[in-house]
Amino acid sequence: MIGHPIHRDAAVVLEKLGGDASGFAARQLKPKIASSADLIIAMTSVHRDIVLEAAPRQLQRTFTLTEVARLASLDGADTLADLAALRPHLTANDTADIPDPIGQSPEVFGAIGSQIADLLPPILEVCRRSIRV
């Protein structure tokens, strides 16, 4: 799917949530991209593990969306650097994968988009605090 635009149903959901899908083009994750990231968020544990195969030194900065959302909600998660130290506090309920909506109805895309949007606020707050540090 390299070079392809965002899926049309995903674009509709993103735009309804206030995002901008224009200019998006899928690209292949390369070790150079992963190695330079401050935070890597995957939708599934399989995707997280693929990232870590490409950039094993990024373990402290690579999480699933549900993991990082839970960690960002914990006391002591003041900056991105704090997230890895808090990882032992995760339970099985904190590590659920985000389902892939491809091949599903627009309603499924909407439900998953809402799920993702609900998980973002604590992550964005930790990112904001990290910029100030």
- Indicate whether 2 belongs to any domain: no
In total, how many domains does the chain have?
A: 1
pLDDT tens for the chain, 133 residues: list them: 899 999 999 999 999 999 999 999 999 989 999 999 999 999 999 999 999 999 999 999 999 999 999 999 999 999 999 999 999 999 888 889 999 999 999 999 999 999 999 999 999 999 999 887 5
Which sign does the torsion angle of CA 30, 32, 34, 39 carry?
negative
For position 10, what pLDDT does the model report?
96
CATH of the domain at 63: 3.40.50.2300
Residues 6+ apart with CB under 8 A from 53: none
CA proximity to 67, closest of 49, 44, 51? 44
> How far apart, in whole angstroms, are the C-alpha atoms of residue 130 and residue 109?
31
For position 84, what pLDDT does the model report?
93
Structural domain boundaries enclosing 85: 8-132
